[in-house]
Amino acid sequence: MTALWITLFLLGILLLLLRRSFGFFTVPLTGGLVYIFGRYTPTSAQIAAAYAIAWLLLLSGVRGILVRGAQSGDGGNLRQLTLIPRFIWFLLWLAAALAAVAIGGRWLVMPA
């Protein structure tokens, strides 16, 4: 499955860009799991793994916005530049992330 090999390649790039973090343990571990799935499992398991990775990425975007909340530093920077309140920026980011989940989820559930 091409998606798994692309994921493995991107994890390799991520590993090169890490500096002193927990990622030195988790990125190689995740890369090993992706390699095992890409090399030793049947196609149906590879497809399931690719779908799981896609859903993880879609939903983690929403989670990241909710964790940071309306008090994010980026919202403060944008408030200073545009005079639009942080909460409005938070709502815009949340709406965009939820729209990405809806569109991406639809593509995953009902491929063209």
Strongest mean pLDDT among 16-20, 70-74, 92-96: 92-96
Distance CA 93, CA 87 (A): 10
Helix (H, G, I), strand (E, B) or coil at 12: helix
What is the model's pTM?
A: 0.79
User: Could you tell me if 75 and 100 lie in one domain?
Assistant: yes
Query: Is there a single domain that holds both residue 36 and residue 55?
Result: no
- Indicate the pLDDT class of residue 112, thresholds 50, 70 and 90: low
* d(C-alpha 77, C-alpha 73), whole Å: 6
Main-chain dihedrals φ then ψ at residue 36, nearest 5 degrees: -60, -45
Do residues 53 and 80 share a domain?
Answer: yes
Alpha-carbon dihedral 51, 54, 58, 61, rounded to 10 degrees: 140
Residue 99 has pLDDT above 90, yes or no: yes
pLDDT at residue 76 tops 80: yes
Region 54-82: what's the mean pLDDT?
A: 92
Give the number of domains in the chain.
2
Domain interval for residue 9: 1-41
Q: Are residues 27 and 67 in the same domain?
A: no
Nearest-CA neighbor of 48 among 58, 57, 38?
Answer: 38
Residues 55 and 90 in one domain: yes
Mean of pLDDT values over 84-95: 94
